[in-house]
Structure 1
């Protein structure tokens, strides 16, 4: 218990202005909360009226979060606590993880709407990020394109499919046909290619059966398909469903997600068989929620962990 109190005290410097730091003794067991419970950054942990059943859940809460009363922070306090967003540099071709031989499609940008993509392959990337690609052929003849013309390119990378625009610098037909394209601009990700997960740390409210959310767990990994979740106890058996709610923050977007999830695996973390890790597969996501999941994952692609067969 002392280490839990110390962790809560250590988080005081990062807490929301005006919010009241709590100790385990401030949260009665078996009684509905009279106020919402938030983390040090204002993230909702438990809603007003939620109930912590036992000491195991309460200890987990203070070990992994810095619980505070959510009714003591004003909107102005929260805005003042937010860190200014740093403007991210536009991604370059090397950020796309394209490999030599990657399949690409190319078409002139002028009148491109509805025109087919002509297949080609990546054969090189210059130090200035110019691209070398094989020359596309149509009916046995080189594609009709003029140096100085802009082209749209779709490239299949190891982790996603991207669309971008280049300017054709040069076209050579001998000894082997190839194109010299400018550094890509207006890079957009079209869709994910692999089911990958990245490390993540944020609170996830869970509910079992009917009613609201009874507790809070800690996300440890996320993919476009599901979550790896650390919980104070086994929340169910493999194949059973939970109700979960969390918020994904990526760039300037903050997307709340409420859905159900199927438990795909349960792994106990200690000999007491209490704290455990669950692999969850999410379902019933809206198109906006699906996009938020994908954006969150690919914003953190440098911290990738590939899913194993035992976890979603």
Structure 2
């Protein structure tokens, strides 16, 4: 049975003021207490972190999170008191319902539109902005360099990713505007569903890669069959290396409309015959990944997941 929707809502920036006590207790995604009501925020960095990761109870929440760790007295600690989160896999797929204006949307945010009555039709657009309870503005859908015709009333499932969170809502096209610049009005959604994307979630792919492994170095071609932020599975014609061998894996992805080349340090963690009997399936763990490469991986994995739903 799937987990029920948790009645938490993201903390509002208006409720967080440096130097003033919190009016409400703030929880993490799992319902564990982060900061008790009355805690005095020290700096803007704390405020920004809570806007991205903090939640408060809404009026419908009548279940208190079980056994949160008690907060330390204010006189003893100035740092946020963070409860130990439960294991990630126990919370995979747990959902909250949030308001459109409670999400930290950015101009230029990538949104994925999928027609409800024809799931094969998908568009990638950018958010321009929104007017609360009125409309959401996005760039006009483009395919092969040509603007797509979207009729008024067409309904879409819209998906977006921000950090570790995936958002989805249902909306309809209100009006296509062609001048002076093409853009699309979407109906303002009544609610947005928000789900945490697990760190280890994998996207099914078919990517050609170059692998070099061990000492002396052995190199070969590979086909990456699934990819995550933490590693990849790849099929290679012959068995290459032993568990624990270190090496490099190089491949190209297209993320946010640009081709990006990745050259990642990795460790071989598993080798087994492939399911179809052709070659061997190798499991690689990425190590020492730069911030830049993490951003590329995150964008590509999230984009692939959205387009594959």
Query: TM-score if structure 1 supplies the norm length?
Result: 0.42
Max Rg structure? 1
Query: TM-score if structure 2 supplies the norm length?
Result: 0.42
